[in-house]
Amino acid sequence: MVDDSPMTLSEHLDDLRKRLVYALSTVVALAILAYTYKDLVMALLLRPFYAAVQNTAGAPLSLDQLGALLEKIREWLTAQICNGSLCFSPVEVEATVAAWRRFFASGSGLIFTHPTEAFFGYIKLSFFVGLLVGMPIVLYQIWRFVVPALYQKERKYIISFLVFGSALFYSGAAYCFWVILPLALTFLVGVGQPYLVPLFTLNNYISFVMFLMLIFGLCFEVPLVMYLVVKIGLVQHQTLVKQWRMIILGAFVVAAVLTPTPDMVTQVALGGSMIVLYLVGLVLTRFAHPRSEAEVVVEKSG
C-alpha cells in the first residue's frame, strides 16, 4: 500500500537512502553467491575471448595438448648432446619448459601482473554478476522511489515496468555477450596478427566485458524510456518523429563516448542498435496517450 500523503525533503532523502540500501544489499548478497562459483562464471566469460583467438591466431591448445607438447619439448632438450655430454642441465631443461608453458598458455587464457589483481579481479567480477542478476530488484527500488511523484492510475504499471525493463536489459546484455563481444574481440586481436601475441590481463578483460554488457543492457531500455516520457506527457510522439536526424546523430555520438575502446565495431554496433531501438520506441509511443488535463483533475480529486 503506497502512502499518498506529501513527503518532505528529509522524508525523500530517507526514502532514497532506504532504497539504495535495499538495492546494494541485494547486489552484495548475489555477489557473495557468485564468488563461490567464480570458476564457472570465469569459464563462461572467457568464451568470447577463446572465439576471438581461434578466429585470428588459431585454436588454443587444450590442457592435454599443452601437457603432451611440453613433455615432447622436455624429452628433446634432455636428449641433446654437446661435445659428448648433455647440452642442458636438468635445471635448464625445467626452466626452458616453464618458459614455453607460459608462452603457450598466454594465447589461451588471461594473465595478471600484480599480486592482488587476481583476488580483486574476481571480486569485481562477482559484483558485476550480482548487479546483472539483481537488476530486477534494482529497477523495483527505482520504481518505489519515483512512485510518490506518480498518480494512482500510473502506479499500476509497476509489473509491466519490471517485466519489460528486465527483459530489455537482459536482451541487451545477451546480445552484447553472444554477438558483439566475439566480433569486437576478433577485430581487436586480429589487429596485432601475426606479429603480436594477445596478453589480456584479468582486470582489463573483466572491466571491458562488464562495462560493454552494462552499456548495451541500459541502451536496450530506450523503447521503454521513450514510452514512459510520452505517457506522462514530457515529450510528444510527433516531436520524437520530427527530430529523427538529431537522434540518429546523437546515437552515434553517445556510442562513441560510451564504448570502452575506440574501435569502429563496438561503436557502430552500439549506435546501430540504439537507432533500431529508437524506431521500436516510435512504434510503441504511438500507443502511449498522455493524460489529459481533465484526467489529471479527476485523479487529483479522487
* Burial of 98 from C-beta contacts in 10 A (0-12 / 13-18 / 19+): exposed
Q: Which of 34-38, 124-128, 144-148, 275-279 has the lowest mean pLDDT?
A: 144-148
Is there a single domain that holds both residue 53 and residue 102?
A: no
Enclosing domain of residue 72:
63-106
Rounded CA separation 195/193 (Å)? 5
Is there a single domain that holds both residue 128 and residue 72?
A: no
Mean pLDDT of 182-199: 79
Is residue 7 a part of any domain in this protein? no
Confidence of residue 27 (pLDDT cuts 50, 70, 90): very high
Is there a single domain that holds both residue 72 and residue 194?
A: no
Select from 83, 106, 129 the last residue of a domain.
106
Is there a single domain that holds both residue 192 and residue 75?
A: no
Is there a single domain that holds both residue 183 and residue 36?
A: yes
Is there a single domain that holds both residue 96 and residue 195?
A: no
Is residue 49 a part of any domain in this protein? yes
Report the domain count for the chain: 2
Please say if the pLDDT value at position 46 is more than 90: no
Is there a single domain that holds both residue 122 and residue 257?
A: yes
- b/e per residue 42-78 (b: at least 16 CB within 10 A): beebbebbbbbbebbbeebbeeeebeeebeebbeebe
pLDDT tens column, 211-240: 899 899 989 999 988 888 887 778 888 888
- Within 10 Å of residue 154's Cβ, how many Cβ atoms? 17
Is residue 228 a part of any domain in this protein? yes
Rounded CA separation 302/64 (Å)? 73
Is there a single domain that holds both residue 88 and residue 116?
A: no
Select from 72, 106, 140 the last residue of a domain.
106
Is residue 2 a part of any domain in this protein? no
Q: Which of 4-13, 23-32, 73-82 has the lowest mean pLDDT?
A: 4-13
pLDDT tens column, 47-80: 888 777 776 655 556 567 778 888 898 899 888 8
pTM of the model: 0.75
pLDDT tens column, 78-124: 888 887 788 888 898 899 888 887 776 655 567 788 889 889 999 99
Is residue 5 a part of any domain in this protein? no
Is there a single domain that holds both residue 141 and residue 278?
A: yes
What pLDDT does residue 9 have? 67
What pLDDT does residue 155 have? 65
Is there a single domain that holds both residue 155 and residue 93?
A: no
Is residue 299 a part of any domain in this protein? no
Select from 46, 76, 106 the last residue of a domain.
106
Is residue 166 a part of any domain in this protein? yes
What pLDDT does residue 140 have? 84
Please count the residues of the chain: 302
What pLDDT does residue 1 have? 45
Is there a single domain that holds both residue 98 and residue 188?
A: no
Is there a single domain that holds both residue 220 and residue 85?
A: no
